[in-house]
Homo-oligomer: A and B are copies of this chain.
Amino acid sequence: MSKGRLEAFSDGVIAIIITIMVLELRAPHEPTFGALKPLLPVFLAYLLSFVFLSIYWNNHHHLLQATPHVSGAILWANLHLLFWLSLVPFATSWMGENPHASLPTAVYGAVLLCLAISFTILVKTILSVHGPASLLARAIGRRDTKSYVSLLLYVLAIPLAFVDPRISWLIFATVALIWIVPDRRIESRLRSN
């Protein structure tokens, strides 16, 4: 079974999700600086989600790159990931419009947690099809640490949103940074193989 359509469909869904999020950033009616100010948390929430969706697209790209072919189980694991990705605009919009509220921030964290779990399921599904000796298994190795740290941080961010939502925002930003920075190491691993 070819992986081309799986990649194309996932690209389409992620591209649309990333773009419809920006529809929440509605142009204010008045042409003043004051009218832009209440948009700041909406903009920051959009920026955060843009970075997360970029990371997922990037990781998805690397993951499929190392996958020789796809099965029905992989198709469904991928659709499961896309389902949670599709809830990001909702969570982003609710959190962005209520930046000082605990529940929307906790829900955002819960969506990120489900996303991380569904990505892990996709990785495990692919590994169970291709075996531990595959290029993917080796490339994924080091990533596991990062994945588990991220999962732990999401689990912490959800209750901490009820202490102070700003702590959770900080945790989300930290996770994003963890994933952006060392991407080049995985790449060099892929290159050296």
A183 in contact with B72 given A5-B11, A5-B61, A20-B20 (CB within 8 Å):
yes
Task: Give, as a whole number of angstroms, the nearest-CB distance from A175 to chain B.
Answer: 17
The residue among A22, A82, A86 with the most chain B CB atoms within 10 A of its own CB is: A22
Extra contacts, 13 of them, besides A18-B82, A19-B20, A22-B87 (Cβ < 8 A), are A8-B8, A8-B11, A9-B11, A9-B15, A13-B15, A16-B20, A17-B19, A20-B23, A25-B87, A27-B97, A50-B83, A58-B75, A72-B187
Complex interface bits, A1-37 against B, C-beta within 8 A gives 1, otherwise 0: 1100101110111111111101101111101110010
Which 6 pairs between the two chains have the least Cβ-Cβ distance? Answer: A31-B101, A12-B15, A27-B94, A31-B98, A27-B93, A16-B19
Q: Cβ of B72 and Cβ of A184 under 8 Å apart?
A: yes
A104 in contact with B31 given A1-B65, A83-B50, A89-B22 (CB within 8 Å):
yes
The interface of chain A, by Cβ under 8 A from chain B, is 1-2, 5, 7-9, 11-20, 22-23, 25-29, 31-33, 36, 47, 50, 54, 57-58, 61, 65, 71-73, 75-76, 79, 82-83, 86-87, 89-90, 93-94, 97-98, 101-104, 107, 180, 183-184, 186-187, 190
Across the interface, which residues of B come within 8 angstroms of A57, CB to CB? Answer: 9, 79
Task: Give, as a whole number of angstroms, the nearest-CB distance from A91 to chain B.
Answer: 8
* Copies of this chain per assembly: 4
A88: nearest chain-B partner, CB-CB = B22
Across the interface, which residues of B come within 8 angstroms of A7, CB to CB? Answer: 5, 8
Across the interface, which residues of B come within 8 angstroms of A72, CB to CB? Answer: 58, 183-184, 186-187
A103 in contact with B31 given A8-B8, A72-B183 (CB within 8 Å):
yes
